[in-house]
Amino acid sequence: MKKIAIVGTGYVGLVTGVALSDIGHDVTCVDIDETKVAKMNQGLSPIYEPGLAELMTKNIERGNLHFTTDHSIAFHDADAIYIAVGTPERADGSANLDFVQQVARDIAAHVTDKGAVVVTKSTVPVGTNKLVKHWITEALDRDLQIDVVSNPEFLREGSAVHDTYNGDRIVIGSESEEAANLIKEINKPFGVPVFRTDIESAEMIKYASNAFLAAKISFINEIGTICGKLGANIEDVAQGMGMDKRIGDKFLNAGIGYGGSCFPKDTKALVQIAGGVNHTFDLLESVINVNNKQQQIPVDIAQMVLRGGLQGKKVAMLGLAFKPNTDDMRESASIVLAQKLTDLGANISAFDPIAMDNAKRLLPETVHYAASTKEALHDADVAIIVTEWDEFKDLPLTVFEQEMKQPIVIDGRNCYPLSYVETANIDYYSIGRPSVIRAKKSNQPAN
């Protein structure tokens, strides 16, 4: 058992801390928000993440997991101090390291004479870990052994707990063999393969991984746009592509673009990192531009099918979170869609199983938040599926017929098989697939 401190209790910090406590370590998570800390000590998770609250309660009761606002308590005799604070995007797309620097100062102020291995989980630009060591040693009032390890996270929101125990790799970047060995030992119970490298390469692996996945998404969305114009089916195209082991079938789902706390921020940050060494990252800039365009597609379709325009029309938005199984609204397509629709005079009725409280802080004030899917759809002129929650994917298509003023569905996530849609009496538009229109079906000759 190792004594571990985690600074920051967002998605990365909280999931990391809970998981490390669950595999037997003594973990103390520190956060400056007293109300948040009090709730977490009661086993109440501040974020929605499947399985997380149960693990919190289990390990608090075991005595392995603690929460505090006091850095000196958290850092006392800690074998490792994890930095897991946010690195929000600046106006120019670069990462803001103010919170990371503050943690470095806190470590210098409260670390005990044992010294520390500082582990950076936050996503930071190349070179930051060495800056962290500089910030700490510069602020120390005595000589201590401080080693810094880059240990980037690869968690997907909505499945972060699962990913922690079933990851593809654990990346450890360090100049110190002893420090790297400690982090390897801490993570050994997970049974996940470990890849060791230098600090700069570990920092770049995180950005490069997210940028590559974002590029796959934007690529398949561009192919989907072409498929829509040629009458091809993007799902068949993606399936045929994915059978090639060199390509793989992951992240080939056409839709209205990526969002969340990682892909948008990390792609922009990598463009800035490249610019810092006088390199124009043309490919990644195109990936970002393609993603931004995808969010306009449902609006364009709605304007096309509602020929009189959207002024005064009721639009049902199903799903607000950037992806299912999370309440995270960061960079969600719903934010852009809601603003565009509002600007065109639409009346929005929105429903999300989890994220509505967070959405209220980000969407236009005129948005109505429905208590259920059916309420959102009632008397709507058009419905837009924004997030592929199972609740929407399992929804009988007859509900659209029964509740809506006119059953026009724009599926931004391709939730329904076209063969199923063809059995329903709805007008259905999706991404990169042939549309299914009631008039066309009614004009087909009987067999």
* Contact yes or no for 318/384 (Cβ under 8 A): yes
- Is 415 annotated in the active site? no
Catalytic residue among 29, 227, 262, 415: 262
Tell me if 52 sits within 8 A of 7, measured CB to CB.
no
Catalytic residues: 262
